[in-house]
Amino acid sequence: MGYNAAMETKKIAVMQKLLKANDAVAAGIRGELKGKDIFFVNLMSSPGSGKTTLVEETVKKLGRKIKVIEGDIQTTLDAERLQKLGVQAYQINTGPFGGDCHLEASWIQAAISELGTDGMEYLFVENIGNLVCPAEFDVGAHLNVLLLSVTEGEDKPLKYPLAFQVSHLCLITKTDLLPLRNFSLPKLRANIKKVNPACAVVELSAHSGAGLESWIEILKNKPGLKKNKK
């Protein structure tokens, strides 16, 4: 397609080195937090799927034993929203690193050092709003969660399969908007199953509160953590 193949090959080689280094750091984080019984949840989604709102609602239910790392290209708006709830939140801005569209494990490691693990039972990472890049970088979480709002369309698992494949749980958000859209939940569930049959699915609306109990229940069970202990 007239594409500069040599340059692309070089780019891929550099990326593979980065990814390998990243995976090692991620494994270290996962092990360290497991040793301290801290459950680490990585939230991924498109911009505006409701990650921060979900964390706010989760904090209201689970309290201040949650610490949060916020990833954004620019601004500290999300960290400020959470600090208002009395939660320790650390903002990573990727702007200085060329506006990176993902978070890397070494940045998470540095953020954990800043936050400290004392009094922490849950660590949430709100990844950069993006269905592509964050899926490529393991951040060391015990549970990878993908949020998809009902206004985004049922075709997204087929279009962005990797994000769904690396996720243990898919949260279908903003279900209160369902009556207004030609959105088929069975179709979305079938598409998720096609790309990742093992992915659990929970429907919820942080707006109406519907489905939030199921989400909190999963967090209380700390599934990834227990599974890793086997």
Single out the segment in contact with a second copy by CB under 8 A; choices: 36-44, 60-68, 132-140, 214-222.
Answer: 132-140
Q: Which is nearer to a second copy, 16 or 221 (CB)?
A: 16
Which of 42, 58, 127, 130 binds a second copy (CB under 8 A)? It is 130
Which of 62, 115, 177, 216 binds a second copy (CB under 8 A)? It is 177
Size of the chain, expressed as the number of residues it contains: 230
Residues 57-76 that bind a second copy (CB under 8 A): 72-75
Asked if 4 interacts with a second copy (CB under 8 A), we say yes
Asked if 107 interacts with a second copy (CB under 8 A), we say yes
Task: Write phi, then psi, for 200 (nearest 5 degrees).
Answer: -75, 150
Q: Which is nearer to a second copy, 132 or 216 (CB)?
A: 132
Asked if 21 interacts with a second copy (CB under 8 A), we say yes
Which of 132, 185, 201, 202 binds a second copy (CB under 8 A)? It is 132
Distance of alpha carbon 58 from alpha carbon 83, whole angstroms = 14
Helices (H), ranges, the chain: 5-35, 51-62, 77-83, 105-115, 156-159, 161-165, 185-195, 212-221, 223-229
Asked if 30 interacts with a second copy (CB under 8 A), we say no
Q: Which is nearer to a second copy, 108 or 219 (CB)?
A: 108
Structure tokens, 114: 């800043």
Asked if 211 interacts with a second copy (CB under 8 A), we say no
Q: Which is nearer to a second copy, 37 or 114 (CB)?
A: 114
Asked if 28 interacts with a second copy (CB under 8 A), we say no
CA 156 vs CA 47, 94, 103, 112, 146: distances in Å: 14, 25, 21, 32, 11
Distance of alpha carbon 214 from alpha carbon 221, whole angstroms = 11
Q: Write down the least CB distance from residue 159 to a second copy, Å.
A: 5
Sheet holding 66-72, edge to edge: 88-93, 66-72, 122-126, 39-45, 143-149, 169-173, 200-203
Asked if 6 interacts with a second copy (CB under 8 A), we say no
Burial environment of residue 8 by CB neighbours within 10 A (0 to 12, 13 to 18, 19 or more) = exposed
Q: Which residues bind a second copy (CB under 8 A)?
A: 1-4, 7-8, 10-12, 14-15, 17-18, 21, 46-48, 72-75, 77, 97-99, 101, 104, 106-107, 109-110, 128-133, 136, 149, 151-153, 155-156, 158-162, 174, 176-177, 180
